[in-house]
A and B are shown apart, each in its own frame.
Chain A
């Protein structure tokens, strides 16, 4: 398996623009997670899905952030409008089943908002 795939790997945009990050989880995994990593706040869980349904979005910072999972093989995280403080590395991760199952992380998208 190719692992979790994220695109783009790098994104540079200007404040106010819409940004869409994409994720393809590992086939057969039924949980998908979006994380944000910054120096100041570390790794933060933004939202996670089970069988394409959002389960917990309490980590989404504000209404400018939205996430969707239209099918088992694709998810998006959208920021509209983007702000400089959104600059971070965004990771997608997936896992299979409940309990103590390993989360497999993608390579991340480094977002810079100017």
Chain B
């Protein structure tokens, strides 16, 4: 019940296309859902995060869509650029616990 399932494992998108990464969770006590971006040789860095009181959050080309009833959330990258090529991790946590439970990661490649 503590798991966060992430798909796909890898994704190839043409420049200008939309990248979509999906995550699902079981524990309804989760109330914070961040996405982290990791470039090769670097540590993960927070990209965008959402709480379940909203269904969507947008920051620039990056949007999180959240479906509380389905216990799913997704990251959409609009107008994908080669510089977006990285590994993306979804995560979840509960306010009462400081632990972040990470998904397995999605390796995104944006072709020029």
Residues of A whose CB lies within 8 Å of any CB of B are 4, 31, 42-45, 48, 50, 55-56, 91, 93, 95, 98-100, 102-108
With A42-B104, A100-B32, A100-B51 as contacts: A105 and B99 at CB distance below 8 Å: no
How many residues on B have C-beta within 8 angstroms of the other chain's C-beta atoms?
19
Question: Given A43-B105, A103-B100, are A91 and B32 neighbors across the interface (CB < 8 Å)?
Answer: no
B45 with A105: CB separation less than 8 A: yes
State how many angstroms separate the Cβ of A45 from the closest Cβ of chain B: 6
| Cβ distance A30 to chain B, nearest Cβ, rounded Å | 11
Query: A9–B45 Cα gap in the complex (Å)?
Result: 18
Q: Which residues of B contact A (CB under 8 A)?
A: 32, 34, 41-46, 49, 51, 89, 95, 98-100, 102-105
B residues less than 8 Å from A45 (CB atoms)? 99-100
Known: A45-B99, A99-B95; 14 extra A-B contacts, CB below 8 A, are: A31-B98, A42-B105, A43-B89, A44-B102, A45-B100, A48-B99, A50-B98, A91-B43, A95-B98, A98-B98, A100-B32, A100-B51, A103-B100, A105-B43
Residues of B near A106 (CB, < 8 A) are 43
Contact partner of A100 (CB less than 8 A), chosen from B43, B95, B102, B103, is: B95
**Nearest CB of B to A92, in Å:** 8
Given A4-B43, A43-B44, A107-B41, check contact A100 B105 (CB 8 Å). Answer: no
- Shortest Cβ gap from B109 to chain A (Å): 17
Min Cβ gap B81→A in Å is: 23
Please list 25 pairs of residues, one from A and one from B, whose beta carbons are closer than 8 Å in the complex, sorted by A's number.
A31-B98, A42-B89, A42-B102, A42-B103, A42-B105, A43-B44, A43-B89, A44-B102, A45-B99, A48-B98, A91-B43, A91-B44, A93-B43, A95-B98, A98-B95, A100-B32, A100-B49, A100-B51, A102-B46, A103-B100, A104-B45, A105-B44, A105-B45, A107-B42, A108-B43
